[in-house]
Amino acid sequence: MRLRIYEIADTEEIMKLFYDTVHQVNIHDYPEEQVDAWAPANMDIDVWIKGLGSKFTYVAEEQGKIIGFGELEPNGHIDRFYCHKDFQRKGIGKKILEQLETKAKFLGIEKLFTEASITAKPFFESQNFVVVKQQEVERRGQNLINFVMEKYLADY
């Protein structure tokens, strides 16, 4: 596996990874109407290109296939963070998170934070994030539960 910076040519494959992961992994923690609202079939590629390109986005790939990605914003917010449905629990997320933490430290960011899904919460807890609060977010008329989580970065 190798990690690299996002390129525009990755966008469609990333969108498919996101859609497939939400619909085949997160479906175990959220009802179908919520995953449909979270990851609709008709996503706008231009919105994704703009979003992925406006953050520090890292892509994990293996044999030319994208198997995960994560986005870091300059304020320490980890936005989208997904591993391919066929590459769950294989250390991919940990490697992506390590890269985001390295970048954050380089930028002088002291705290990372995210809104983790029910599905992702145990992963972030295993990486020393703590829950600040549970919340409901609205996506296309559906209210989804997630968790505001944060991690202070130690100086090494």
Is 135 within 8 Å of 152 (Cβ atoms)? no
Residues with Cβ < 8 Å from 109, sequence gap 6 or more? 74, 75, 76, 153
Q: Count CB neighbours of 113 within 10 A.
A: 17
Cα–Cα distance list, 128 to 21, 71, 73, 75 (Å): 23, 18, 19, 19
Which tens digits make up the pLDDT trace of 64-110? 999 999 999 999 999 999 999 999 999 999 999 999 999 999 999 99
Q: Which of 76, 80, 71, 77 is nearest to 21 (CA)?
A: 80
pLDDT at position 155, please?
60
This prediction's pTM: 0.94
Is 53 within 8 Å of 8 (Cβ atoms)? yes
pLDDT band at 21 (very low <50, low <70, confident <90, very high): very high
Distance CA 51, CA 55 (A): 7
**Cα–chain center distance at 104:** 15
C-alpha torsion 80→86→88→93, nearest 10: -40
Helix (H) or strand (E) holding 5: strand 2-5
Helix (H) or strand (E) holding 111: strand 111-117
Query: What are the tokens at 141?
Result: 């008329």
Residue 63 pLDDT exceeds 70:
yes
What type of residue sits at position 75?
N
